[in-house]
Amino acid sequence: MSENVLTLDGVGKSYSGFDLRNVSFVLPRGYIMGLVGPNGAGKTTTIRLIMDLARPDSGRIAVLGQHMAENQIELKRKIGYVPENHEFYSDMTVGWTAQFVGRQYPTWDEARFCELLHRYNVDTRKKIGALSKGTKAKLAMALALAHHPELLILDEPTSGLDPVVRRELLSDLLEFVADGDRSVLFSTHITSDLERVADYITFIVDGRVAASDEREAMLERARASNPAASIEDLLWTYARGGR
């Protein structure tokens, strides 16, 4: 098994009015990394590039030791992906949605999916359009976990959720990596999420990586000059151009 499940090296992408520049970081196997930055900093663009939903103009991306662009089908079957906007068919039921998604994954585990739905209290008979935002988030997580992925990639998974649902989903991330073989990358602008579950943090500001390291190492350095420094303080410093 590859030591690093995710490697970005000098990745760049230009759009009209926005440039992602020289993005580099690694996620070791068995850990959770938070990708954090202000809205519009480039978090979603970075995740879309990792998932090969857009192609980088420069740099290299390796997922589970392979290039995504060359091994897309095989690799995507090993990834549980939750985009920022849950794009389900609103007129279809939860059960139909699960059958549709399950056909894409040879490792789909119907018993595991039903177990997750029971835990999340999601009714398979309900139509997607009748679900609350929190319930859609739970469904998206269940779909991502039910095929036993090696890597979870989540774009703003807790944004807009009530505190109870947020805590539940974050607890599931800790459970997911507990065996040491699976990893998580999740983007967020909610620093308390990082303090609760992230082992590593990558700060993205204005399309660039301002810092990427173990959470505790970052805090230890910051607290040498400010004993009360928090992740929120670090984000504020980087967003203002500090180092």
Tens digits of residue pLDDT in 200-215: 999 999 999 999 999 9
4-15 and 58-63 as β-strands: parallel, antiparallel, unpaired? antiparallel
The string of DSSP letters for 160-181 reads T--HHHHHHHHHHHHHHTTTSS
Please choose, from the candidates 226, 138, 230, the residue with its C-alpha nearest in 3D space to the C-alpha of residue 191: 230
CATH class of 1-78+151-165+181-243: alpha beta
pLDDT of residue 2: 53
Say which residues have a Cβ less than 8 Å from residue 136's Cβ, sequence separation at least 6: 86, 88, 128
- pLDDT band at residue 39, thresholds of 50, 70 and 90? confident
Percent of the residues in the chain that have a pLDDT greater than 90, as a whole number: 79
The continuous run of DSSP H or E covering 21 comes out as strand 18-28
Type and span of the H or E element at 97: helix 94-102
Average pLDDT on 172-188 reads 95
Asked if residue 65 has pLDDT above 60, the reply is yes
Predicted model pTM:
0.93
Beta-carbon count within 10 A of 34 CB: 25
The residue extents of the domains of the chain are: 1-78+151-165+181-243, 88-149
Q: What's CA 205's distance to the chain center, in Å?
A: 17
